[in-house]
């Protein structure tokens, strides 16, 4: 049935959107296996320009409907985005079906969060005490501005001028990078998607996959402009390698590293950073100084609870059974 649908699927598509036949494609169960991005073909001589993000209008912070209309008006981007996110959903569902106790885990995770959020004061204090006894310095920030000032103070005390960091939505919300730029500290994002967005001076469009709205031709354009790659080459391996080479010396020379925090365990005073690309390991371990930004909602009471969340996390977020 799926094979039949695949055929009629193409028949329903606007001719402009139909991907060319690819002799190298891996076909399984009648479906091409490539990632949606890999499956997207250059369909015209000039790549479709990427629609830019939402505009800010007066007291209406983000005109999302207008931005969505512009994105939908770009058929190659819209199609790629739709397929890519549906692909994530399907992968997530496949992982879900591999775990018989999945719904039990979700209910348990929900109950743990609810309990923790109604006892935040106790667990935050417990975490702080245990973290301090592990040799971690704990700072409390009331808002984004205070967060940025605290981090700046730590960097200043260490004479740090170059900071590498992994993806953190908390720091996005704090306006961390613009603040650091204003005080003369260079910040290098090490997550590939986040790095693309940083180089393109654009906010992430998704919390897990920050550059999910970009075609590889968009990335080729950004890297050509910022890293000096060949603008006509949108091969994903070429682009990833160019970025790796450009960023590597910056990582090795960084004065400090920064990560987010996925879980902070109160009973042990430890925190957990999950990373898919291994880049958070570099941010955490290569420089002498590691700063982790954590929202207070990241607390979980016990190490046992971590097992529940870690089983759910990457399966739900990326449809992958494992992450680092």
Partner 1 sequence: MRIGLFIPCYIDAFFPEVGIATLELLERFGHDVEYPHDQTCCGQPMANSGFNAEAAGTEALFVRNFSGFDYVVAPSGSCVHHVRDNFDAIEQTGVVKVVRARTYELVEFLHDIVKVEAFPWARFPHRVGLHNSCGTLRRLKHARPSELHEPFFSKPMDLLSKVEGIEFVQPSRPDECCGFGGTFSVFEEVVSTKMGYDKVRDHAQAGAEYIVSADSSCLMHQQGCAERIGVPMKFIHIAEILNGVSA
Q: Rounded CA gap, 72 and 81, in Å? A: 10
* 96 vs 310, beta carbon nearer partner 1: 96
Asked if residues 182 and 14 have their Cβ atoms less than 8 Å apart, the reply is no
- Residue the block writes with tokens 């704990």: 138
Shortest Å distance, C-beta 72 to partner 1: 5
Number of H helices, E strands in the chain: 14, 9
Give the interface with partner 1 as residue ranges (CB under 8 A).
1, 5, 8-9, 12, 64-65, 68-69, 72, 78, 82, 86, 89, 93, 96-97, 99-100, 102-103
Helix (H) or strand (E) holding 299: strand 299-300
Residue 62: CB minimum distance to partner 1, A: 13
DSSP annotation of 119: T
Nearer to partner 1, 71 or 176 (CB): 71
To the nearest whole angstrom, how small is the minimum distance from the Cβ of residue 124 to partner 1?
A: 32
What is the C-alpha to C-alpha distance for residues 191 and 279, in angstroms, rounded to an integer?
A: 6
Q: How far is the CB of 100 from partner 1 (least distance, A)?
A: 8
Q: How far apart are CA 234 and CA 174, in angstroms?
A: 33
CB 115 within 8 A of CB 301: yes
The smaller minimum CB distance to partner 1, of residues 17 and 250, is found at 17
Q: Where does residue 228 fall: left (phi above 0), alpha (psi -120 to 50 degrees), or beta otherwise? A: left
Least CB distance to partner 1 at residue 84 (A): 14
Smallest distance, Å, CB 12 to partner 1?
A: 6
Q: Which residue, among 321, 83, 101, has the nearest Cα to 215 in the 3D structure? A: 83
Contact 39, 19 (CB under 8 A): yes
State which residue, 298 or 315, has the beta carbon closest to partner 1: 315
Q: How far is the CB of 97 from partner 1 (least distance, A)?
A: 6
> What beta strand segments (E) does 113-223 contain?
162-165, 186-189
**How far apart (Å, rounded) are the C-alpha atoms in residues 71 and 213?**
9
Our CB check for partner 1 shows the closer of 68 and 183 to be: 68
What minimum distance in Å lies between the beta carbon of 171 and partner 1? Answer: 29
DSSP string computed for 222-279: HHHHHT---TT---HHHHHHHHHHHHHHHHHH-SEEEE--SEEETTTTEEE---SSSH
Question: In this complex, which beta carbon is closest to partner 1, that of residue 9 or of residue 324?
Answer: 9
Closer CB to partner 1, residue 100 or residue 135?
Answer: 100
Nearer to partner 1 by C-beta: 15 or 135? 15
């Amino acid at each position: 049935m799926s094979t039949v649908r695949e055929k009629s699927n193409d028949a329903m598509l606007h001719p402009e959107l139909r991907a060319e036949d690819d002799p190298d494609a891996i076909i399984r169960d009648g479906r091409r296996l490539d990632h949606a991005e890999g499956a997207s073909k250059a369909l015209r001589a000039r790549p479709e320009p990427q629609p830019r993000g939402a505009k800010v209008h007066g007291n209406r912070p983000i005109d999302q409907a207008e931005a969505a209309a512009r994105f939908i008006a770009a058929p190659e981007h819209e199609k790629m985005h739709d397929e890519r996110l549906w692909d994530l959903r399907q992968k997530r569902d496949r992982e879900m079906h591999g775990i018989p106790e999945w719904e039990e885990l979700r209910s348990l995770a929900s109950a743990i969060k609810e309990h923790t959020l109604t006892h935040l004061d106790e667990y935050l204090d417990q975490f702080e005490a245990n973290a301090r006894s592990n040799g971690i310095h704990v700072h409390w920030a009331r808002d984004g501005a205070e967060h940025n000032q605290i981090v700046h103070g730590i960097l200043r005390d260490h004479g740090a001028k170059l900071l590498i960091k992994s993806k953190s939505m908390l720091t996005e919300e704090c306006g961390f990078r613009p603040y650091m730029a204003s005080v003369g500290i260079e910040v290098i994002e090490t997550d590939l998607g986040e790095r693309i967005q940083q180089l393109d001076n654009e906010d992430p469009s998704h919390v897990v996959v920050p550059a999910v709205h970009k075609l590889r031709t968009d990335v080729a354009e950004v890297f050509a402009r910022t890293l000096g790659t060949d603008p006509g080459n949108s091969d994903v391996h070429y682009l990833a390698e160019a970025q790796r080479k450009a960023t590597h010396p910056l990582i090795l020379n960084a004065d400090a590293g920064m990560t987010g925090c996925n879980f902070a365990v109160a009973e042990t005073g430890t925190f957990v950073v999950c990373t898919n690309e291994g880049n958070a390991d570099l941010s955490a371990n290569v420089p002498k100084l590691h700063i982790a930004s954590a929202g207070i909602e990241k607390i979980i009471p016990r190490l046992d609870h971590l097992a529940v969340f870690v089983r759910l996390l990457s399966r739900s977020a990326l449809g992958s059974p494992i992450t680092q």
